[in-house]
Chains A and B, each alone.
Chain A
Amino acid sequence: MTDDVGTWLYAVAEEFPGDRLDGLTGIGGRPVRAVAAAGLTAVAGTVDLAEFGAEAIHKNMEDLDWLAANARTHDAVVRAVADDRAVIPLRFATIYRDDDRARALLVERRADFVVALRQVTGRSEWGVRAYCDPDALRRAGAAAPSGRATTGTDYLLRRRAQLEERSTAAENAMTLAAELHACLIRFAVAGRQNPPQHPQLSGAADWTVLNGTYLVDNESVERFTEQVAELESARPHVHCELTGPWPPYSFTNLDVS
């Protein structure tokens, strides 16, 4: 009976020897194994459904510590495999009844996986977040009058100037984001701008103007990272953070012709 356990899938790659996964520990502290079919290998592990079954996992995902620990483990396994081969990461909590069902998936979706693997081979994902001092964004617009309002009309004029200043700053932020993105995409195969994270999350007082992620050819990584540094040094009020290499989480549905 296999009612109490399931097969957790981490990633799919072109078939490789299963012993390359020896010693790798996955979710729940259990070993990671290769499940092969149709010339593909799914990197898999066993999970207890008491903890990871449909009902339990919904509840457990509300526990941030649980989520963080398991997300890190999932990523660590994907990353370990991605270290020396192209992989398609599977989304967190893709769980099959058993290995046979996972093999059936590989057979059925082989063509899709092959295309997806081709798109990420020899490439990695890089995240670039750019922060900007909001004052600098406001300064780029017209300055609002200073001092105290003395009349109602004066107040209204000042209020309008403040609102204009604010929307100017927002527009400047968008212009800056588009500018940075356009510079970075030249050194990438693909890229996209994600919504900036909330300042409470990023912990930064500055505005996040760009939260971009890019798929970069391995031979272009140096030029890409240099470009990040150049963009930053050319703009004193902008601070960039680079993360990577990541497995290609954001580029598994690429339509690259």
Chain B
Amino acid sequence: MTELQPRPPAHVPDDRVSLVDLLDRVLAGGVVISGEVTLSIAEVDLVHISLRALVTSVSALAEGNHP
């Protein structure tokens, strides 16, 4: 039997970037099925400022990314 162990990605550039990459995928990706206890996280209003700052992907060309 092959033992299954969590394995980090082969290319991890930087902790902060990789957390954003991870949250982008784990919170915004994956199949959305209405769980019976917690509805989809997509419906969660991410109100907390630090969280919003982290998980919101900002369109660089629309705002904020220009010096």
Contacts and interface: CB of A to CB of B under 8 A. Distances in A.
Interface of A: 6, 9, 12, 19-21, 23-24, 49, 52-54, 57-58, 61-64, 67-68, 71-72, 74-77, 79-81, 83-84, 88-97, 101, 105, 109, 116, 125, 127, 129, 134, 166, 169-170, 173-174, 194-203, 207-209, 211, 213, 241-246, 249-250, 252-253
A174 B57 contact: no
Nearest to B46: A61
Chain B interface, >50% SS class: loop
27 contacts: A52-B38, A53-B38, A58-B45, A61-B44, A62-B47, A64-B48, A79-B7, A80-B4, A88-B31, A90-B30, A91-B27, A93-B40, A95-B38, A96-B35, A116-B31, A129-B17, A173-B60, A174-B61, A195-B60, A198-B58, A203-B17, A208-B65, A246-B25, A249-B26, A250-B25, A252-B30, A253-B31
Given A71-B26, A93-B41, A196-B57, A244 B51 contact: no
Contact of B14 (A21, A127, A203): A203
A172 to B, nearest CB: 11
Nearest to A57: B38
Given A92-B30, A250-B25, A253-B31, 6 more contacts: A49-B37, A57-B44, A71-B27, A91-B30, A166-B66, A208-B60
B17 to A, nearest CB: 6
Nearest to A25: B6
B51 A61 contact: yes
> What are the 5 closest A-B residue pairs judged by CB atoms, nearest first?
A249-B29, A76-B6, A62-B48, A249-B25, A91-B30
Interface string B47-64: 110110110111111001
Contact of B37 (A53, A71, A174, A203): A53
Contacts of B46: 61-62
Nearest to B61: A170
